[in-house]
Structures are given as C-alpha cells and as structure tokens.
Amino acid sequence: MEYRGWIGSSKSGVELMGDSVLWLQQHLHEHSLIYFIALYVVGGRPVAILTASFFRLNLLFFFPLVVFMDILQVPCFYYLYEHTFTSERLKRLSGYFQRKGEGAKDRSIFQRLKALGSVGVVLLTMLPVKGGGMWSGVFLAHIIAMPKKKSYTWLIVGSLLGSLMFLGLGDGLIRLYHLIA
C-alpha cells in the first residue's frame, strides 16, 4: 500500500516541503501581514524575521511590527507574574509558575544574568534559545524587582537587539545561499 501523504498526495515529505515553500513564495506577498503574524505567533521573533528576510518582505514595515508585538506581550506577562501567585482562582496555574520560577532561579546562567541587572534583562530578552525571549526577560525583571518603567526600556532594547541579530543572520544566510548556488 502506498503512503498518500498530504491530502492524498503520493509525494514524499521533501517534495511536499518544496511544494509548500513554492506556494508560500507565490502567495506570501498577497497576504504577507497575515502570514507574518501567524509565523510570529507560532515561531516567535526568530521565525518571523528570518521568514521576512528570506522572502524579501518590506523590513521597514515588518521589523517595527515584530518589536511592537514583543512589547504587547510585556503587560500580559507582568499580569501573570503579579497575579497568578496570589489568586485563589488561579491556584493550580500559580503552582505551575512557582515551580517553574524556582527551577529557573536555581540555574547558574539565571544567577549570572540576575547579577548583571539591566544588562542581564537585555541579554535574556534578545536570546532566541529555549528559556530566552520576552517572557523570560519579563520574568527576570520581575524577580530582580526592577521598576516597570525601567524594565520596559530594557525589554524594548533587548527586543530591538534580538531582532537586529536575526536581520543580520537572515542576510548572512541569504548571501551564503547566493555564494553556493
């Protein structure tokens, strides 16, 4: 019996991936904002910016959009950190956050970033690895009791630097591709 793959197709996974990339290249510019936001929600800042770079989308529009979407997350994360630990209605979720928070506080990298203060918040916010990003940057700022106004500034700086890092990475990968191809 032959494997029929995606929607009855007899193509291999590699062929399907190639077809998906071609379809995106042909249709992404028609609905680039919708796809970009979906990619940001699913894959975060790295996926959104690298995709915009690879598909040559207007980065003067999409770069500030990424930073704006990062900034929109900050009040949500602060709300979670400030209210889930004390809310009776969210006791189960509160326990989850407390366990995660205690585990993170004990890690040596977290201790080093905590000692760096504002610079640690920037570094943690700009890192695209597991345990980095906006969520973790807000967590670190909350743990070190950084005032919210000051933390917003440093979180935005981390978002900008992380986004610039991915713009550079995307540009470098595109140049490498053109050298090889």
pLDDT per residue, tens digit, the chain (181 aa), is: 444 444 555 666 667 666 766 776 676 667 778 878 887 887 788 888 888 888 788 888 888 998 999 899 899 888 887 776 666 665 565 566 566 666 666 667 767 777 788 888 898 888 876 667 888 888 888 888 889 899 999 999 999 999 898 888 888 888 888 888 7
Q: Which DSSP letter does residue 6 get? A: G
Q: Which residues touch 93 (CB under 8 Å, ≥6 apart)?
A: 84
b/e map of 81-97 (b: 16 or more CB within 10 Å)?
beebeeeeeeeeebeee
As a whole number of angstroms, the distance between CA 122 and CA 155 comes to 6
Residue 66: exposure state from Cβ atoms within 10 A (0-12, 13-18, ≥19) = buried
Query: Residue with structure tokens 């005032």?
Result: 147
Place of tokens 């890092």: 165
- Does the global pTM surpass 0.85? no
Identify the burial level of 101 via C-beta atoms within 10 angstroms of its C-beta, where 0-12 means exposed, 13-18 middle and 19 or more buried. Answer: middle
Nearest to 137 by CA among 148, 151, 150, 149: 151
Q: Is 65 helix (H, G, I), strand (E, B) or coil?
A: helix
Sign (positive or negative) of CA dihedral 24, 29, 33, 36: positive
